[in-house]
Amino acid sequence: MKLAVIPARGGSKRIPRKNIRQFCGKPMIAWSIEIAQRSGLFDRIIVSTDDTEIAKIASEHGAEVPFLRPADISDDFTGTAEVVQHAIQNIQSKGHQVDDVCCIYATAPFARSEDIEKAYQELGNGWSYVIPACEFNAPIFRSFQRYDDGSIEMLYPDKFASRSQDLPEALHDAGQFYWGKAAAWLELKPFFTRDTYALRIPAWRVQDIDTNDDWRRAELMFVGLEALESKE
């Protein structure tokens, strides 16, 4: 079985109720559910939540909510892997075989079904996980920290004299989805190792949504991308 798991707890702090807040005409989580549906890859699309309102909205948009997530894995400190592990264990406890699992974040409106499909093809090449990744907007080896008195210090002073084209390539997790073998999820295998494949996507399709400023920026980006794509 190929399973999509969308984690969506109710207790988000910085943007209250962000998983079901209206984003460009739909509850945010609805975009992730639709992306999973459009891919045509999944035998089941499951939302893991501790919140009955989120469960209701997820069900209305075509996802399954076969359980409510326990409180002990619905706090600020529980990682993605533990949530997916719990979902797999719940499905397997009912006699179903789970082979491959894609965790799609509830706040990932920029994810593309074609990226999910490409990532799944790569997963078949023996990787434990496949994740989308993109370049930083600026070279991280030029970064510096600012102290309380306003002074600064480079984080990588040994790279000061290096030309930009000579700096190592640095990518970051796009924060949209993780494909993984069920065995890797169940073992809580770390993501960022040589057993993970990074599927490169363009940085202009990536936006974290953790603050209200992020939310506004994401809405503007989304509307702009929709307008551009409608002209193609």
To the nearest whole percent, how much of the chain has pLDDT over 90?
89
Which domain covers residue 10, as residue numbers? 2-131+173-231
Tell me the pLDDT tens digit for each residue of 79-126. Answer: 999 999 999 999 999 999 999 999 999 999 999 999 999 999 999 999
Confirm whether 150 is domain-assigned.
Answer: no
Integer Cα distance of 171 and 197 in angstroms: 12
Confirm whether 159 is domain-assigned.
Answer: no
The residue behind tokens 């074609």 is: 114
CATH code of residue 197: 3.90.550.10
Integer Cα distance of 73 and 83 in angstroms: 7
Number of domains in the chain: 1
**Is the entire prediction scored with pTM above 0.95?**
no
Confirm whether 39 is domain-assigned.
Answer: yes
CA-to-CA separations, 52 to 20, 44, 48, 58, 75, in angstroms, rounded: 12, 20, 11, 10, 16
75-88: burial string, b at 16+ Cβ within 10 Å, e else: eeebeebebbbbbb
Confirm whether 45 is domain-assigned.
Answer: yes
Confirm whether 140 is domain-assigned.
Answer: no
Residue 156 tokens read as 């990588």
Confirm whether 57 is domain-assigned.
Answer: yes
User: What pLDDT band is residue 165 in, cutting at 50, 70 and 90?
Assistant: confident
Number of residues that this document lists for the chain: 232
